[in-house]
Amino acid sequence: MGEIVQYLLTGLSLGGIYALVALGFYIMWEATKAANFTHGDVYMVGAVLTVVLVEKGLPVLLAASIAIAAAAVIGALIERLLVRPFNKEPNAIGWMLTTIAAGIMIESMATITYGPLGRPLPSPLAEQPIRFGGAGIYPQEMLLPIVAVAAMFGLEAFYRRTTIGRAMRAVAFNRTAAGLMGINPNRIALIAYALAAAIGALAGILIAPVVQAAPAMGALIGLKAFGVAIVAGIANARGVVIVGLCYGVIEKLIEGYISTGARNAVGFTLMILALLLFPQGIFGRREVVKV
């Protein structure tokens, strides 16, 4: 009994990361029908930068705020420089390659300046695990799924209640028509990428006390989160967060009941199967193609 509770809790924590990073993919996708393919590296930048700033003597909250702001700027730059020029025609793939290039550069830059090894971010929430039943978990880890769900509701409210949010939905629905209504789709794209990057960086900072911040921490998480977003159908925030949390739990269950080694192989295979069963994603809408 304790065993399964343990898997559920750590799975939810891991799933919280996938959900937050995947939310970023969803936000970018809605705005541009493209994304920063290596969004996982933005997540890493959040964590690494915070650790560096804390080591320089800044208080954690200030360091985290600066790191999130920096990540938002990086996100906006990626949109302006690497996505927009390579996403001109429908089904363009140039942005995939340019953002992969950016990811490679960011990660190797981080490795060179920060060093390849992970360093911890001190946090009062990662010192004493809470125990219930036979399971134990740091409060820090429980933050992730909570923040993910909060981000999801926050995003929904943002999309529904604010002018910018409504403009973003308009752009997602029909870019050209939104442009004709006086919405600048390029500005919306910029905001979306900055927002996505900020959320991604936040996820990185939240998990840094538990896993240690390292340059290589983001690449695989990013790819998995993109898979999560795609499997969810990149159609709504709820779907993305639900699939993200579930994927985390599934990975932990695979680790527990099959083997740690099989985690990625089985997880990704499930992902491929899910896409075969639901080509539009589990929560995706089928697009009617007009001939």
Which residues from 139-198 bind another protein, rule CB under 8 A? none
Nearest distance from C-beta of residue 272 to another protein, angstroms: 5
Q: Do 18 and 224 touch, CB atoms closer than 8 A?
A: yes
- Which of these ranges, 51-59, 140-148, 164-172, 256-264, lies near another protein under the rule CB under 8 A? 256-264
- Which of these ranges, 45-53, 151-159, 170-178, 272-280, lies near another protein under the rule CB under 8 A? 272-280
Using rule CB under 8 A, residue 271 touches another protein? yes
Using rule CB under 8 A, residue 44 touches another protein? no
Using rule CB under 8 A, residue 275 touches another protein? yes
41/141 with CB nearer another protein: 41
Cα–Cα distance, 171 to 46 (Å, whole number): 28
Cα–Cα distance, 218 to 211 (Å, whole number): 12
Q: What are phi and psi of 132, to 5 degrees?
A: -145, 140
52/275 with CB nearer another protein: 275
Using rule CB under 8 A, residue 262 touches another protein? yes
Residue among 52, 66, 100, 125 that touches another protein (CB under 8 A): 100
Q: Do 201 and 68 touch, CB atoms closer than 8 A?
A: yes
Q: Do 45 and 67 touch, CB atoms closer than 8 A?
A: yes
Q: What are phi and psi of 37, to 5 degrees?
A: -60, -30
44/68 with CB nearer another protein: 44
Minimal CA–CA distance to 68: which of 194, 238, 244?
194
Cα–Cα distance, 191 to 188 (Å, whole number): 5
Residue among 227, 239, 244, 248 that touches another protein (CB under 8 A): 227
Q: Do 87 and 33 touch, CB atoms closer than 8 A?
A: yes
Nearest distance from C-beta of residue 44 to another protein, angstroms: 15
Could you count the other beta carbons within 10 Å of the beta carbon of residue 114?
A: 18
Q: Where are the beta strands (DSSP E) in 133-254?
A: 135-137
Using rule CB under 8 A, residue 230 touches another protein? yes
Contact footprint for another protein (CB under 8 A): 35, 82, 85-86, 91, 93-94, 96-98, 100-105, 107-109, 111-112, 220, 223, 226-227, 230, 259, 261-265, 268-269, 271-272, 275-276, 279, 288, 291
